[in-house]
Amino acid sequence: MIPVPLLVCVMAGWCAVYLTDTLLRSSVTHRIRYESWLASRGLMLSPFHVRWQTTMFNRLFAYCARINPRALYLWFSSGLVFGIISMVGSVVLLTKTLQQTLAQMTTDNPRIGSQQALQVVVPGVNLPTSQLAYFFTALLLSGVIHELGHAVAALREQVRVNGFGMFVFVVYPGAFVDLFTTHLNLISPTQQLRIFCAGVWHNFVLCVAALAFLFLLPLFLLPAYSTGGGALVTEVVQGSAADGPRGLSVGDIVTGLEDCPVRGVEDWSSCLSHLSYTPQTGYCVPVASLQPSWAHGRAFKRLDGTMDCCSNNSLTDLCFSYMKPQGKNSREREYACMPVRKMVTGTWVCRTDDDCTAHSHTASVCVTPSLENQTRFIRVTHPPNTHMLFVGYPPHLQYSVSLTNFVPRFGFLHLDLPVFLETFCKYVVSLSGALAVVNSVPCFALDGQWMLNALLEATLVTVVTDRQKRELIGFFLLLAGSALLAANVALGLWMVTAR
């Protein structure tokens, strides 16, 4: 659910802005001065909407449009081709996503939902509040780059730019350019297509650039940060399974989970996933250690059918099961409640007793923690500290710890710098790519509307000579695209909020 304090702050802020605006506009003494101040600064206020427009960037846009005319022609012509392809691709993608959403609603199969190509993001619901700064900054950057493409393309095609602006609607930031409509209507449909497609083209380029930067980040940070030596802990959730005196701490380097080596965050996730779906690892223990002095408890069945032999709820003991050395032929299984840290420290992992024979000169058996079906016992290696011992559901361990691949080479370097760059790049890739897809959809009030109209004018003028018929075809195509996008958003919001 959306955090109530955040919702209250947003509503209170907008109420204060709207109330102040209303009072000043209704004031006899301040109204004229206030409206003049707004007009001089290009500000417009309405309920839950603030808009700012300026001409201060027009010279910059004009300079960019004159850099290399031939290169810019090839650049925006490539954008035209990409825009047409993306318009068709966005319809296919939204259709596929809608089918998957409907299939998930009817079958309630979580695997289908995990394959969805698009997902509606709602701050405070499926977007953590701690990530809001990344989200809105990346969204604003993607919008500015989008409009920069429109502005430069328009000036290159001799269309005047009246101004550039930014806005905030509720909490969502955005940008826009104001083009001179008369000039826009005088140029050819192909020129119009270059202008209309420039926004999604620049979003795609920004997405690729952020993806390349993310891929090359280890190389860029190589002088200051090393990678491949383990996963560095940057945050541990307080009170979680990884917290505590013998748990993980910020700055620890995790190098292994059981016998699975961890060289980075990807290995950490894959190792936990592997341990979740494979049988519990065993440990080689000398036969001499399995004596009655360990106070074997009488085994009893849990509700799920597994066995337990520690009835005192001890935090240091764990029930282990093993094949009796003299009972291999009968496959007789014995259970023993033993001090877990003492039993598994410095021991080899195993699957059968034969694995222990290969690593030990003394008579040893393979003992396995007797746990509930989805519960696992995991040794987390983080030298030079002793192993952290985890008993529970592996995903809980993953959610308890935040890690990074980058280990500082010097003590004065901040742990969070690579995390900030990684997270911001991931948001830029996601949001800029999403803007390229959504704006390409042939839908009313989006770039896709103007892209479709210009495309129809450029291609159907010889086939359908009547302009009204071409406009009618475009209207029904826009209606279908709008319905497709609205259905995806509505069902996506329902899936996010209702479930």
Tens digits of residue pLDDT in 141-179: 999 999 999 999 999 999 999 999 999 999 899 999 999
Read off the pLDDT band of 436 (50, 70, 90): very high
> Token pair for residue 102?
């409907």
Q: Which of 247-256, 365-374, 402-411, 468-477 bottoms out in mean pLDDT, i.e. has the lowest? A: 365-374
Q: Which of 136, 137, 143, 96 is nearest to 118 (CA)?
A: 96
> What pLDDT does 6 receive?
80
> Token pair for residue 492?
């996506």
Residue found under tokens 């085994």:
299
How many percent of the chain have pLDDT more than 70? 92
> What pLDDT does 1 receive?
54
Read off the pLDDT band of 293 (50, 70, 90): very low
Q: Taking 80 as the threshold, does the pLDDT of residue 499 lie above it?
A: no
Cα–Cα distance measured from residue 404 to residue 230, given in angstroms and rounded to the nearest whole number: 9
Going from the C-alpha of 349 to that of each of 259, 323, 369, the distances in angstroms are: 7, 16, 12
> What pLDDT does 340 receive?
86
> What pLDDT does 78 receive?
97
Q: Taking 70 as the threshold, does the pLDDT of residue 326 lie above it?
A: no
Average pLDDT over residues 8-26: 92
> What pLDDT does 113 receive?
47
Q: Which of 278-292, 293-307, 396-410, 445-459 bottoms out in mean pLDDT, i.e. has the lowest? A: 293-307
Average pLDDT over residues 457-482: 93
Q: Which residues are catalytic?
A: 147
Which residues on neighbouring strands pair with residue 301, listed in sequence order? 307
Residues ≥6 apart with Cβ < 8 Å to 312? none
For residues 255 and 381, the answer to whether their CB atoms sit within 8 Å is yes
The string of pLDDT tens digits covering residues 39-88 is: 999 999 998 999 999 999 999 999 999 999 999 999 999 999 999 999 99
> What pLDDT does 302 receive?
78
Cα–Cα distance measured from residue 436 to residue 205, given in angstroms and rounded to the nearest whole number: 10
The string of pLDDT tens digits covering residues 179-221 is: 999 999 999 999 999 999 999 999 999 999 999 999 999 999 9
Average pLDDT, the chain: 89
Average pLDDT over residues 221-241: 93
Average pLDDT over residues 8-27: 92
Indicate the angle between helix axes 69-107 and 447-459, nearest 10 degrees. 110
Q: Taking 70 as the threshold, does the pLDDT of residue 322 lie above it?
A: yes
| DSSP E strands, 223-273 | 225-226, 231-236, 253-254, 256-257, 260-261
Q: Helix or strand or coil: residue 48?
A: coil
List helix spans (H) across 236-365: 265-277, 340-344, 353-359
Q: Taking 60 as the threshold, does the pLDDT of residue 262 lie above it?
A: yes
Neighbours of 61 (CB within 10 A): 21
3-state secondary structure 27-41: CCCCHHHHHHHHHHC
Q: Taking 90 as the threshold, does the pLDDT of residue 484 lie above it?
A: yes
Average pLDDT over residues 101-109: 76
Q: Which of 119-133, 255-269, 485-499 bottoms out in mean pLDDT, i.e. has the lowest? A: 119-133
Residue found under tokens 């809105």:
136
Cα–Cα distance measured from residue 451 to residue 457, given in angstroms and rounded to the nearest whole number: 10
> What pLDDT does 114 receive?
47
Average pLDDT over residues 292-306: 65
For residues 444 and 486, the answer to whether their CB atoms sit within 8 Å is no
Cα–Cα distance measured from residue 87 to residue 82, given in angstroms and rounded to the nearest whole number: 8
Amino acid identity, residue 341? Answer: R
Cα–Cα distance measured from residue 292 to residue 334, given in angstroms and rounded to the nearest whole number: 12
Average pLDDT over residues 398-405: 93
> What pLDDT does 291 receive?
58
